[in-house]
Structure 1
Amino acid sequence: MPFRLALCTMGIDALRSEGVEVEIRHLRAFAAVARCRSFSRAAQELLITQPALSRTIAQLEGALSVRLLERTSRRVEPTDAGAEFLQEAERAIASFDHALNTARHRASLRLGFSWLLPAPWAQRTIKSFEGATGASVTLSRTDDPLQALRQRVIDVAVVRGEMDLPQPFQTVRLCDEARFAVCARESPLAGRTHLDWGEVRHWRLIVNSVSGTTGPWSWPEDLRPKDIVETSNYDEWVETVAANRGIGIVPETARRRSPHPALRFIALVGAPPVPVRLVYPPDGPRALVRRFVDASLEAARR
């Protein structure tokens, strides 16, 4: 990012010379060398190579037409002009960083989800992301996260299930969740300890057609349940199962975090897991989304 600095004490009011425009990276490089009194230690601090650092300092001195550093075989010292420049450069760096931090603390990333974010992944990710960026995460519950992404209502979504995502959405797989069967307390299944995945087709299946993770599509055509009741959101689905209108299938998160006195959860044997993914458009707030994805993957590995 170009960054101009007026240095009236040195008689320099525009930092552009012979096609070279001074940027904040030039100031950071010079300040690091002047503080460390060493190109090698400054390069380590800045996480760049020593040749790249030397080129950056040479560009800065060339743009200013002023020698800022005296180099010997053992030590690097600022010249008188360099010492004066260092004071101005450090003030400029501090002002620049303050401006960035002020803007970042006003930034917000909108995270959409249809129901029950994975725990403790969500809490770890949000804490890490907000601590590293200064931005905040706004949580938005929506029945159709993909539609919310299309409408730019959210920036990134947590999506469960095996559906094919339309272009140009990008996706990152976070984890897999086990499936559980759910039935009413009055159901003949309520006393079972487990249910085979292949047995599900013999029962009426309650499906959340908007944000559910299991439906007829989850089985080969010849093994699909024939008796299907559709609901349009999670609350309708829960109450329909609780009313003993059929059974449902949910990820393990629901068993751990949605206790309901009228429901019983039963382990499913042989059921494929439910993939959990982050989905985001390629033209959103890229820097924030990238940092959020990095924090998400780190939290998923813990």
Structure 2
Amino acid sequence: MASEMPLSLRLCFAVMTVELRHLRAFLAITHEGTITRAASRLHVTQPALSRTVSQLEAHLGVRLIDRSTHHLRLTAAGRAFQPRAAAAVAAVDQALDPARAGAWPLRLGHAWSALGEHTPPLLRRWKQDHPQIPLQLLRVDDRTAGLDHGTVDVAVIRGEVNLPAEVETAALLAEPRVAAVAADGPLAGKPRLSLHDLSAELIAVNTVAGTTTLDLWPAEQTPFDTIEVAITDDWIAAITTGQAVGVTTTATAAMYPNPAVVYRPLSDAPAVTVRLAWRLPPSHPSVLDLVALARQIVTAPQTKTGGNG
């Protein structure tokens, strides 16, 4: 089915103004997968919901949803539009939240470990320099740390992530990789580890937001299996119980100290690039101020404190 809307339909809706209900209708369908469930969720009739989405498609001039199969599927245009619609709805909900009427917080998202040892200095300096603008640190368990869904204004991105063209990024630092092993296991006694040392172990892999896959190992040293987890807490649990070992960065060692886990330098694994990412135009007027401050913080000398590896 062609994605381009017929000219006659586009002309009929040329003066239509898109309202929030059009975006909510589209997002409900993408979330529920059927018109029936989406209509029930929004407490509207199925014909009314179908008309609302058709109006949105007519306004945009493209088909967003492929209706040719029993289960609705997004078209290429629909997949591209979904994060934009989600971001717009989230921004409106944020603006109209009565609990936030007295301030406009700046939301910094991260999937895990934030900026590691740089996180406390960043939060302290921001509060000192911008006392009128609360900085919220939000953990969001996905690869874009909430940026795709519009739940954050700036996101900490680790590794290679596919980002839309309207997203700007700034590289901050390269984090060395470390191995995470049980404190009472045989590998904990070594001051440094290599990928070869871990190749006989079960590897805990965060499949939602992690940066480690079996591709990190040379073909002849690939570990035999993985334990897949979705959040950092489960990743830590798999290591503390001795079920698996993990590969992460120094940020995790700083943010998740645990007496049952030791972090050892990993001598032959490449560092992980850490970037800040935000949408253009910025969703908050202080986004660039935060980016500038983060750059200052990560380049300033850090006071070293004791740790567990």
Q: Same fold (TM over 0.5)?
A: yes
Letter in 1 for 2:141: D
CA contact (8 A) 2:110 2:145 kept: no
- Mapped to 1, the partners of 2:129 and 2:253 lie a distance apart of 32
- Mapped to 2, the partners of 1:236 and 1:214 lie a distance apart of 15
Of residues 241-250 and 261-270 in structure 1, the stretch that sits farther from structure 2 once superposed is 261-270
Letter in 2 for 1:111: L
- Mapped to 2, the partners of 1:136 and 1:109 lie a distance apart of 6
Task: State the partner residue of 1:122.
Answer: 119
CA contact (8 A) 1:174 1:300 kept: yes
Task: State the partner residue of 1:259.
Answer: 257
Letter in 2 for 1:121: H
Q: Equivalent residue of 1:253, what SS?
A: helix
TM normalised by structure 2 equals 0.57
1:216 and 1:170, CA in 2 relative to 1: closer, same or farther beyond 3 A?
farther
Equivalent residue in structure 1 for 2:158, among 154, 157, 160: 160
**Gapped runs of 5+ residues in structure 1?**
1-104
CA contact (8 A) 1:172 1:277 kept: yes
Equivalent residue in structure 1 for 2:277, among 276, 279, 299: 279
- Mapped to 2, the partners of 1:132 and 1:256 lie a distance apart of 24
Equivalent residue in structure 2 for 1:201, among 199, 202, 207: 199
Cα shift readout 1:73-92 (whole Å, capped 9, x = no counterpart): xxxxxxxxxxxxxxxxxxxx
Whichever of the two has the greater Rg, that structure is: 1
Whose strand fraction is larger, Structure 1's or Structure 2's?
A: 1
1:282 and 1:176, CA in 2 relative to 1: closer, same or farther beyond 3 A?
same
CA contact (8 A) 1:112 1:145 kept: no
| Identity level (%) | 28
CA apart distance, 1:130? 4.7
Letter in 1 for 2:286: L
**Gapped runs of 5+ residues in structure 2?**
1-101, 301-309
CA apart distance, 1:239? 0.5
Task: State the partner residue of 1:183.
Answer: 181
Task: State the partner residue of 1:225.
Answer: 223
Task: State the partner residue of 2:68.
Answer: none
CA contact (8 A) 2:116 2:252 kept: no
1:290 and 1:185, CA in 2 relative to 1: closer, same or farther beyond 3 A?
closer
TM normalised by structure 1 equals 0.58
Q: Equivalent residue of 1:298, what SS?
A: helix
CA apart distance, 1:245? 1.3
Aligned-residue CA RMSD (Å): 2.7
1:199 and 1:163, CA in 2 relative to 1: closer, same or farther beyond 3 A?
farther
Task: State the partner residue of 2:109.
Answer: 112
Cα shift readout 1:159-190 (whole Å, capped 9, x = no counterpart): 22233434332211111111111112343312
CA apart distance, 1:145? 5.5
Task: State the partner residue of 1:99.
Answer: none
CA apart distance, 1:142? 1.3
CA apart distance, 1:252? 1.2
CA apart distance, 1:136? 1.9
CA contact (8 A) 2:216 2:269 kept: no
